Amino acid sequence: MQLRNIVLSITALGLVGVASTASADTWRFGLEETEGSVQYGYAEEFKKLIEEKSDGDITVELLPYGSWGSSYSALYDAIQSGAIPLGFGSGFLGGTVPESQLMSLNYVMPNDQMETAEILNSDDFLKSDAWQDSFRERGLVPLGALPEGYQVWTANKEIRTPEDMDNLQIRVMDNSLLRSTYEAYGASPITIAYGELYSALQQGQAEGNIQPVFAHENMGFYEVQDYMIFAEQSQFIANFIGNEEWYDDLSDDQREMLESTLDEMVQKGHDIQTQFNSERLETIKDKSDISIVHLDENERNAFRKLAEPVRQAYVDMVGERGQKALDIVLDHVDRSDDKAE
Ligand code: 6CS
């Protein structure tokens, strides 16, 4: 579905999807993205695996962006209420689970995207009290986390230094930590709904954007931006979340099937997103004359330095639990840096 039509479709559909029937054998799965996206690719693979493993006893119903309501909070509310027991939650989830903003911190995760996926899906992190309690306190269960590729900046000017970002009205997802990060870079971050972003960029209401490559292509954003800047500051990470009661009520067999499928999704997800992002970059290059910029190590370091104090802002915002979750990630990153040396 083209981005320009999404807002209309959302309005027309309202909350119809949420109100429809859900049987014990139907796992409704809410996506933050449209067909043709990485999340949709992940969900299709997940559906295939669950339906095969359950011998058709379970049907996974995919509910892409635009089919469950008019704002991301409608999706998260539906997962909390159990109307949609499974879904993805990323940057906007910070309003529901503030600790989840850990995934938005810049220059924290390892550069290697598979390594990031392994850390975030390790028992050490995923099953920690800090992470589990953060979600369970809000009626949710964190089931895994799948990176969707590097977050790439776009603008109508070249950005190589924080000075180039000065006062830039860059659009960020609705998340305090992202606002703090981009303010630390000197920008003037603004939040705009995903479905309204194309026209906001086209009309200059937003001057810059941050998305994984596939989304710049899938949503057509690259058509209205002149530069694509790779600063390797963060990866887009989707939390795979379930309704707590629904999850706790699964039979042992079903829970085991779900967990083994999620384990498989770590490698499969990596393969899917790598392929999507590299193919979509080629499409963008073929279809536009957008300038592609890669920051070098020195240039990245200038942003890295400004991003560092935001880690403390995260801990101040979410408290001890956030500190613990962050420490687990940093400990893994240190250990893998040691191994690489
Ligand atoms: O920027 C956003 O709002 C959305 N972008 C992606 C790639 N997925 C969902 C997210 O909310």
Residue 339: the pLDDT is 77
Question: Does residue 91 have its Cβ closer than 6 Å to ligand 1?
Answer: yes
**Residue 303 parent element (H or E):** helix 297-307
Q: Could you report the per-residue pLDDT of 119-163, keeping only the tens digit for each?
A: 999 999 999 999 999 999 999 999 999 999 999 999 999 999 999
Question: Does residue 236 have its Cβ closer than 6 Å to ligand 1?
Answer: yes
Residue 166: the pLDDT is 98
How much distance in Å is there from the Cα of 236 to the middle of ligand 1? 8
Question: Does residue 66 have its Cβ closer than 6 Å to ligand 1?
Answer: no
How is the chain split into domains, by residue range?
2-148+236-278, 152-234+284-311
How much distance in Å is there from the Cα of 13 to the middle of ligand 1? 20
The class level of CATH for 152-234+284-311 reads alpha beta
- Give the number of the atom of ligand 1 that is nearest the alpha carbon of residue 38: 7
First to last CA, the chain: 46
Rg, Å, the chain Cα set: 19
How many Å separate Cα 92 from the centre of its chain? 9
Residue 227: the pLDDT is 98
Query: Quick count: other Cβ atoms within 10 Å of Cβ 48?
Result: 13
Q: Could you report the per-residue pLDDT of 256-286, keeping only the tens digit for each?
A: 999 999 999 999 999 999 999 999 999 999 9
Atom 9 in ligand 1: residue holding the nearest Cα: 32
Question: Does residue 194 have its Cβ closer than 6 Å to ligand 1?
Answer: yes
Instruction: Report the residue among 3, 6, 90 best suited for mutation to probe ligand 1: largest number of ligand atoms under 8 A from its CB.
Output: 90
- Residue ranges of alpha helices (H) inside 195-238 are 197-202, 213-218
Give the contacts of 87 (CB within 8 A, at least 6 positions apart): 29, 30, 31, 32, 75, 76, 78, 79, 241
152-234+284-311 and 2-148+236-278 share a CATH fold: yes
pTM: 0.92
Q: Could you report the per-residue pLDDT of 314-338, keeping only the tens digit for each?
A: 999 999 999 999 999 999 999 888 7
Mean pLDDT of the chain: 93
The class level of CATH for 2-148+236-278 reads alpha beta
Higher pLDDT, 254 or 9: 254
Residue 20: the pLDDT is 40
Question: Does the pLDDT at position 174 exceed 90?
Answer: yes
How much distance in Å is there from the Cα of 238 to the middle of ligand 1? 9
